[in-house]
Amino acid sequence: MSVHVGARHQVVVIGSGFGGLFAAKRLRRADVEVTVIARTTHHLFQPLLYQVATGILSEGEIAPATREVLRRQRNSRVLLGEVTGIDLATRTVTSETVLGETTTAYDSLVVAAGSTQSYFGNDHFAEYAPGLKSIDDALELRGRIFGAFELAELSEDHAQVDRLLTFAVIGAGPTGVEMAGQIAELARRALPGNFRRIDPRTARVVLVDGADAVLGSFGGKLPAQAAAHLKRLGVEVQLGAMVVDVDSGGLVVQDADGRQRRIPAVTKVWAAGVAASPLGRQLAEQSGAELDRAGRIRVLPDLTLPGHPEVFVVGDMAAQDLPGVAQVAIQGARYAADAVRARLTGKSPAGPFRYHDKGNMATISRFSAVAEIGPVRMVGFLAWLMWLAVHLVYIIGFKSRLTTLLHWVVSFLGSGRSERTATSQQVAARTALTQLGRPGPTGPDRLLRESAEASVASRRA
């Protein structure tokens, strides 16, 4: 199936994350037609995924429907599909769904396909240690975390209870620190009194990283202060410990002295690394651009591909020696959209892309966060209030902001978690889909397509 090109300039945006959505919205008053192609139907506010996983927020609050967000933007449309091919010569994008392939032509292209979890060549770890990059990941982890407490309540084997009540978080960056802190608070504040045989406060939370500091991207004393606060929460911070194996019952780490040891833990969370979308390799092969070790593509100073000024690459896919945070994607997307508008109106280019660093923030627990804004570094309650305000501003939609604020009041001022529901389907679905194959013509999409075709054929008969 082909999507026909209209008379106006056609801008195709790949991805509905921060880069994709902000690029599309920036073009709302431009004389262009915008087509957003994404593999999901929602825009994901990824920094709050850990709160979905630990029962603070529902998935709907951080993942509004993309169509709903863009419903009043008359020059935009949204297409569901996983982009499998970009042809720079013919200026077309190929995407796939259960109904087959769709080819969309473009005059300008904004590639904001984001990143995936990286297991550094050990992809088999994913079966036992989910990452935290999608709603599916967060819901699976919610089921695993709360399910571990439920199974521990049933078990009479003390060794098994210990394994069930040990939670290992691999990676001490912002995601790992936030996840470890919230699991510790869940065990020590939210769940005590809910069980009769076990005491959730005895749960062991282990934060593991091969680096020598938590929050290594932060400066000054913030990493040491964050580590000290985690320890006060009861989190075991194990640095200089590289994970060399993961299985259903635990993980094996190698310390700096070369010795290996095993940490028995049923629930593992992988927050150790990211890899750019595989679309980057396609673009590199066709344009001659270089890829870095994470699969990010080396773009020109104006975020375009060498020899292809009509193609912009923004966010986690672009190798720019910038942090992999939402602000980089947002500012890059706005820059690309402004460049498209300038070209159409005959204006001079704005010059190279310049990132305005608005700082780094990470929560450690309720009422405590770390913040680094220019030369200002702070830790504690004031940093936490700043974190709350910034995240509320960037959550899409008034309703989502309001319900998020209400859930935060319940969880932070009280001790409850309002989103504790988890199903067996949520826990097992990601692994089942992986076993079926990657979504596309040879994976679950093929099975669904064959089922749909068979259904249509039977009706005709």
Q: What angle do CA 358, 361, 363 make, to 5 degrees?
A: 160
The encoded tokens of residue 134 equal: 């999608």
User: What is the 8-class DSSP label of residue 244?
Assistant: E
From residue 173, alpha-carbon distances to 45, 217, 221, 223, 384 in Å are 18, 8, 15, 10, 17
Quote the CA–CA distance of 426 and 140 in Å, as a whole number.
5
Beta strands in 99-217 (DSSP E): 100-105, 108-111, 115-117, 166-170, 204-209
Asked if 264 and 166 touch (Cβ cutoff 8 Å), the reply is: yes
- Give burial (CB, 10 Å; 0-12/13-18/19+) of 65: middle
Instruction: Tell me the sheet residues that pair with 167.
Output: 205, 267
Strand, helix or coil at 259?
coil
From residue 266, alpha-carbon distances to 127, 250, 298, 451 in Å are 12, 6, 40, 36
In this structure, the number of other CB atoms found within 10 A of the CB of residue 20 comes to 26
Whether residue 310 lies in the annotated active site: no
Quote the CA–CA distance of 454 and 457 in Å, as a whole number.
5
Q: Which residues contact 220 (CB under 8 A, 6 or more apart)?
A: 372, 377
Numbers of helices and strands, H then E, in the chain:
14, 24
In this structure, the number of other CB atoms found within 10 A of the CB of residue 31 comes to 11
Q: Which of 178, 185, 372, 419 is catalytic?
A: 178
Catalytic residues: 178
